[in-house]
Structure formats: C-alpha cells, structure tokens
C-alpha cells in the first residue's frame, strides 16, 4: 500500500443555475491575458449540448485518454511513444481555434467617438486573433440553455448511444448544467503524452501542473487529455491548464470557482488513495466497472491501518484528520452519491458530480403531481429512461444502475426531509428503501442542502515548515525574485519570453498594463489589448470613455465622473 493524498472536488449539479460566475471569476484570475483569450479553465456547458471545445467527447476523432490495447494493457489512445514523436511536427489530433471559437472584443470606441448621425452607432465585433472585423458564430457556451438545439442539438456526442433520441421539442426536453474544470486525474493522460515531461502531478496534493519552464510547446498534451482541459497559449507557445488555484489551496482557502459559486455547490477536500492500485484500476476490462474500480483505489481514512501507512508515507497528521472530515470522502464513499465524469477515459478523474434529480422533478411538477412524494419520484425515475440513460453516458460509461441508485437516494432524501420540515415524524422506511439510515439521511441533507462553508471546504493548509518553499506565500519581498522587478511585458524573443515572474506579481503587472493601455486591438503590441471581460471596474481603459480633455475645466468635469 502506497498512500497518497489527493485534493479533489465534487459538484452538486442539482444546484447549478448556469450563471457562469465560476467561469468568469476563473477567467479573471487566470486567463485574462493575450494568448489565452479563448481559454476557459472553468467552463459551464448546457447538456445535452456539444460542450467546449465542440464535440470534445468524440474520442474516435480526438483520441484522448487511455484504452486497453489488444493485449489488455493500458495504452494511450493517441498512440505509443514512438508514434507521438513521429507525429510531433504536425499534431494530427489538435483541435483548431474553430473547434473552440475565435475570441473577440468590440470597438466600443465608435460608440462614443462617432459624429452626430441619423443612425445609432454600433460597436462592431473585432477578432482578438487577427484584429479584423469578424462575424461571431460560436463561443464557449453558444448553445447555452439549449439555444439553437433544434438545429444542432443532435451533434451531442453522447446521444449516439441512446436508443430513443432526445427530443428537442419544448415540452419533452430536459436539460441541466455541467461546470467543468481539469479533473486532476490520478492517471493523467496529459502528463503521459507530454514529450518533455513538463506536466507533473504534485506528490503532496495530486494537483496536476504544467512546468512553464520545461514545456517546449510540442502540444501533444492537448490531444492527450480527453476532457480537453489543456490549452495552448498561442502567444507564449506553451501549454496551460487549470491549476486548482494552488496558491489558494496551499494556504487553506478554496479555489476561485468554488469560492464564488452562486449555487454553493462545490465541495473540496482530501481523499487518500493507494497509488499502487491506480494502474490496475485503470486497466479494468469492462468500461461499466470503472466507476467501482476507481472507488476501490480510495482508502478509508478511518481505518487505523490506513492511518498508520499514511503516517509512514509522510502525510502530516492534520492532513489525515482533514481526510477523515473530507466532504469528498463522504459524498463518494459514505453516501455514494457522487460519480466520476467519463470514467471510460480511464484517467481516473478526481472532480466528481452528484447527478441532477431536477430533470425528474421538473417532469413531475409539470404534470401536476407532488414532486416530493417518494412514490411519485421513484416511479418517475423508473419511467424517465432518456434523462437517466443520458446521465449514465456522462458518469458511468452508460451503466444505468449506479445513476439510478444515486437518484433514488436524492429522491428519498427529498421525501424524508419533507416529513421533518412539516413537523411530522420522519419515516425510517424511506431511508431503508435506499439502503441508508435516517441519521445518514439527515447528515447527507446537512451536507447537500445546508452546505455550511466549513463543511463544504475542508482544506488543510500546506505545511508551515514548508512555507518558505510554497510557490506564492510571500515570506520575502514579493518583487524579490530572479529577473525582477521591471518584469511584465516581454523579453526580446516575443511575448512572454524572459524569466518567469511569480503568478501574483504577473497578475499585478497585467492589471496595470490593462488599466493604462491605450488601444482595443493593437496587433503590434497585443499585451496592451483591452477586453471588457477583463476589465475589473478600476481605471479606465481608453475606448471605454472619451479621452480626457487637456483643458483644466473639462478635466474637472471628467474628474466628477469617476
């Protein structure tokens, strides 16, 4: 047994209102730079839908993740090492910008600078890639809320395995939101595809990171990740990915997407697993067994033997405590309501989901029946095969039973708690019907519905005695690093060249550049572009307001405005 700790996330999909706050705050924190305009480390997809990048789940085409080869051994779907090297000069399975979308901004300038005229001036969209006028045809969430689904809804990759096609007619459809970040997999195929070995899994907390100094821009990892959660920065020529907000996690606070989530639906905590069993689990023969196989890799943090082994492996005592209190462990192993996203990719993903009961509840409500009645709910779960099969395609490689079981538990919780809320005696039989006790039912309710901040996030800070080595914790002057200050901007070899500044300093610089920049799209110096999405409300990028008048009276009036 080789115990390792993994920082993991669970999202409760029933609570997601599809507001995209997580995406926007993540973008603000991490990808508000040129070169990654099209990148969303966190994106929210409406399902059924194509996702972002379009149809990324079509592994016949993109060849991401792992498969079992003819000898039953685990192999990269994209091909072995030699094949990867031979196709390095032009990667055959790299999504193009079309598959994501062409990022744009607007020339807001014309709104304020246009002379008096009969027609209202419009701000035209300008491509952030070419700087030219463009026609907006797609984005990271173009099919939000099933927009346009009658036309292209059938392009959803998962639908091909579902017998009765999902109907996109208003009355019959169902939908839910799926927020996605990097899965920080136990068996990351992105890392396995990287020719330079620049992508690594941190042995302390399992966060998967790209070493920007070692990445050489071979862009094989983009193809290797089946979730398409590695992005190529087209300005710096390096791969970037979700960082699980490691600078925040290291000091014990949740990721930006979790912290700002309006639905408060994200849970973060540790899970202990046996690293020796990872390969075996990933090599499970039947796709349908992968969910259980992955669960078998996780260790019970309350088992004294596991605790002993964890201590021997150098996991600090407070981390073991945190693993015992972990909401992730509770949702995955105790209540068994969280499921992995696409286990059939065999990367052993570590961001899990509680499937939504809402498609079922909505149908019952629409038909005028009591949507909190156990009988109605159970019957509807059994009757509504299409949504359930669809969820199974997402979370259990098409195996319906585990999804069924989870939905029954969620339905049971609904009716069990209703009795309590109405002041009636709780009905223990509801709990036993789904294999739980009334007490467990209540605990689950607390975790899922009350969802206190300190129960949602149990994040042990990285160790104080290691503080000096933490990447971002400022125990010294934060400008005191190799090559700084005077950083920001670029070295002589193009954007982003030169020594790397720490993330915090870089963001500060970026903010300053943005606030003092003077053009919307200036291909000569793309670092100074202004995109409203990136504007944080401070300072006034030019183009947003008319230029200040040099004469003092006018300046005074302009001053009033701010």
Interface residue with another protein, options 191, 323, 391, 447 (CB under 8 A): 191
Q: Do 535 and 544 contact (CB within 8 A), yes or no? A: yes
Question: Is the CB of 189 or the CB of 220 nearer to ligand SF4?
Answer: 189
CB 399, min distance to another protein, A: 27
Interface residue with another protein, options 254, 359, 460, 496 (CB under 8 A): 496
Site string for ligand HEM, 79-108 (x = CB under 6 A): ---------xx-------------------
Q: Look-up: residue for tokens 């993903």?
A: 349
What part of residues 4-33 is at the interface with another protein (CB under 8 A)? none
Partner from ligand HEM, another protein, ligand SF4, none contacting 179, C-beta within 5 to 8 A by type: ligand SF4
Spatial separation of the C-alpha atoms in residues 389 and 396, rounded to whole Å: 10
Q: Do 518 and 535 contact (CB within 8 A), yes or no? A: no
- Backbone φ and ψ for 8, nearest 5 degrees, come out as -135, 170
Question: Is the CB of 14 or the CB of 205 nearer to another protein?
Answer: 205
Question: Is the CB of 231 or the CB of 395 nearer to ligand HEM?
Answer: 231
Choose one: 91-99, 154-162, 292-300, 447-455; the region binding another protein (CB under 8 A).
91-99
| 352 belongs to the binding site for ligand HEM (CB under 6 A) | no
What part of residues 200-259 is at the interface with ligand HEM (CB under 6 A)? 218
Partner from another protein, ligand HEM, ligand SF4, none contacting 225, C-beta within 5 to 8 A by type: ligand SF4
What six digits make up the tokens of 465?
Answer: 């005695």
Spatial separation of the C-alpha atoms in residues 520 and 545, rounded to whole Å: 12
Question: Is the CB of 63 or the CB of 385 nearer to ligand SF4?
Answer: 63
Question: Is the CB of 215 or the CB of 361 nearer to ligand HEM?
Answer: 215
Q: Do 487 and 509 contact (CB within 8 A), yes or no? A: yes
Interface residue with another protein, options 169, 425, 476, 553 (CB under 8 A): 476
- Backbone φ and ψ for 551, nearest 5 degrees, come out as -80, 140
* CA 185 and chain centroid, separation: 12
> What letters, b where the CB count within 10 A reaches 16 and e where it falls short, cover 371-382?
bbbbebbbebbe
- Backbone φ and ψ for 65, nearest 5 degrees, come out as 80, -165
Spatial separation of the C-alpha atoms in residues 171 and 367, rounded to whole Å: 11
Interface residue with another protein, options 60, 90, 170, 562 (CB under 8 A): 90
Q: Look-up: residue for tokens 């090297």?
A: 85
Question: Is the CB of 18 or the CB of 51 nearer to ligand SF4?
Answer: 18
Choose one: 81-89, 156-164, 294-302, 433-441; the region binding another protein (CB under 8 A).
81-89
Q: How many Cβ atoms sit within 10 Å of the Cβ of residue 400? A: 15
Q: Do 196 and 215 contact (CB within 8 A), yes or no? A: yes
Spatial separation of the C-alpha atoms in residues 416 and 425, rounded to whole Å: 9
Site string for another protein, 407-446 (x = CB under 8 A): ----------------------------------------
Question: Is the CB of 131 or the CB of 438 nearer to another protein?
Answer: 131
Choose one: 192-200, 379-387, 400-408, 434-442; the region binding another protein (CB under 8 A).
192-200
What part of residues 511-550 is at the interface with another protein (CB under 8 A)? 523
Across 13-117, the runs of DSSP E, i.e. the strands, are 43-47, 66-68, 74-76, 104-106
CB 184, min distance to ligand SF4, A: 5
Q: How many Cβ atoms sit within 10 Å of the Cβ of residue 445? A: 16
CB 514, min distance to another protein, A: 20
Q: Do 225 and 189 contact (CB within 8 A), yes or no? A: yes
CB 218, min distance to ligand HEM, A: 5
Cis peptide before 48 (omega within 30 of 0): yes
Question: Is the CB of 99 or the CB of 506 nearer to ligand HEM?
Answer: 99
CB 214, min distance to another protein, A: 8
What part of residues 220-259 is at the interface with another protein (CB under 8 A)? 232, 234-238, 250
Interface residue with another protein, options 106, 142, 200, 369 (CB under 8 A): 200
CB 69, min distance to ligand HEM, A: 25
Continuous H helices in 459-548: 503-516
Q: Do 14 and 356 contact (CB within 8 A), yes or no? A: yes
Interface residue with another protein, options 130, 172, 312, 437 (CB under 8 A): 130
Residues at the interface with ligand SF4 (CB under 6 A): 16-22, 44, 177, 179, 182-185, 188-190, 208, 225, 227, 229-230, 241, 261-263, 265, 347
Q: Which one, of 214, 131, 132, 230, lies nearest residue 180 by Cα?
A: 230
- How far separated are the first and last CA of the chain, in Å rounded? 62
CB 422, min distance to ligand SF4, A: 28
What part of residues 282-301 is at the interface with ligand HEM (CB under 6 A)? none
Continuous H helices in 13-148: 21-30, 59-62, 81-86, 109-113
Question: Is the CB of 85 or the CB of 262 nearer to ligand SF4?
Answer: 262
What part of residues 37-76 is at the interface with another protein (CB under 8 A)? none
| 545 beta partners | 542
Question: Is the CB of 185 or the CB of 199 nearer to ligand HEM?
Answer: 199
Partner from ligand SF4, ligand HEM, another protein, none contacting 236, C-beta within 5 to 8 A by type: another protein
| Three-class DSSP category at 209 | strand
Spatial separation of the C-alpha atoms in residues 43 and 25, rounded to whole Å: 11
Name the residues that contact ligand HEM, by CB under 6 A. 88-89, 218
């Amino acid at each position: 047994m080789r115990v390792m700790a993994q920082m993991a996330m669970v999202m409760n999909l029933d609570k997601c209102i599809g507001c995209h706050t997580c995406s926007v705050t993540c973008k603000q924190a991490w990808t508000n730079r040129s070169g990654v305009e099209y990148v969303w480390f966190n994106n929210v997809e409406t399902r059924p839908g194509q996702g972002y990048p379009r149809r990324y789940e079509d592994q016949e085409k993109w060849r991401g993740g792992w498969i079992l080869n003819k000898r039953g051994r685990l192999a990269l779907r994209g091909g072995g090492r030699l094949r990867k090297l031979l196709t390095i000069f032009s990667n055959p399975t790299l999504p193009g910008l079309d598959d994501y979308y062409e990022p744009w901004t607007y020339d807001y300038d014309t709104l304020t600078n246009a002379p008096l005229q009969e027609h209202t001036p419009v701000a035209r969209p300008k491509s952030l890639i070419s700087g030219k006028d463009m026609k907006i045809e797609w984005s990271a969430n173009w099919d939000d809320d099933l927009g346009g689904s009658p036309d292209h809804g059938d392009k959803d990759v998962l639908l091909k395995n579902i017998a009765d096609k999902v109907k996109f007619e208003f009355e019959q459809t169902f939908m839910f939101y799926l927020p996605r970040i990097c899965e920080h997999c136990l068996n990351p195929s992105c890392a396995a595809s990287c020719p330079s070995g620049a992508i690594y899994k941190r042995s302390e907390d399992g966060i998967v990171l790209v070493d920007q100094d070692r990445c050489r821009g071979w862009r094989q990892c983009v193809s290797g990740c089946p979730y398409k959660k590695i992005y190529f920065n087209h300005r710096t020529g390096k791969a970037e990915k979700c960082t699980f907000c490691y600078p925040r996690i290291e000091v014990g606070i949740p990721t930006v997407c979790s912290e700002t989530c309006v639905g408060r639906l994200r849970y973060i905590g540790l899970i202990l697993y046996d690293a020796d069993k990872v390969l075996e689990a990933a090599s499970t023969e039947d796709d349908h067994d992968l969910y259980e196989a992955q669960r078998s890799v996780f260790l019970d943090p309350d088992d004294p033997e596991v605790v002993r082994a964890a201590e021997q492996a150098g996991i600090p005592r407070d981390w073991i405590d945190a693993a015992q209190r972990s909401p992730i462990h509770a949702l995955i192993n105790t209540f068994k309501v969280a499921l992995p996203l696409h286990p059939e990719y065999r990367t052993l993903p570590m961001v899990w989901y509680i499937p939504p009961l809402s498609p079922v509840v909505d149908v019952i409500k629409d038909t005028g029946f009591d949507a909190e009645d156990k009988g109605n709910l159970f019957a509807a779960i059994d009757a509504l095969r299409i949504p359930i099969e669809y969820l199974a395609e997402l979370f259990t490689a098409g195996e319906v039973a585990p999804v069924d079981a989870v939905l029954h538990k969620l339905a049971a919780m609904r009716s069990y708690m209703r009795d309590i809320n109405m002041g009636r005696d709780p009905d223990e039989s509801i709990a036993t019907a789904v294999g739980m006790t009334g007490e467990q039912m209540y605990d689950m309710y607390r975790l899922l519905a009350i969802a206190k901040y300190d129960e949602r996030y149990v994040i042990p800070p990285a160790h104080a005695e290691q503080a000096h080595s933490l990447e971002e914790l400022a125990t010294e002057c934060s400008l005191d690093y190799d090559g700084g200050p005077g950083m920001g901007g670029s070295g002589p070899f193009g954007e982003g060249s030169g020594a790397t500044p720490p993330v915090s300093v870089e963001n500060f610089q970026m903010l300053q550049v943005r606030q003092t920049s003077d053009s919307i799209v200036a291909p000569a110096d793309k670092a100074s572009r202004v995109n409203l999405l990136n504007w944080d409300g401070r300072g006034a990028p030019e183009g947003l307001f008319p230029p200040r008048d040099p004469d003092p009276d006018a300046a005074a009036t302009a001053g009033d405005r701010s």
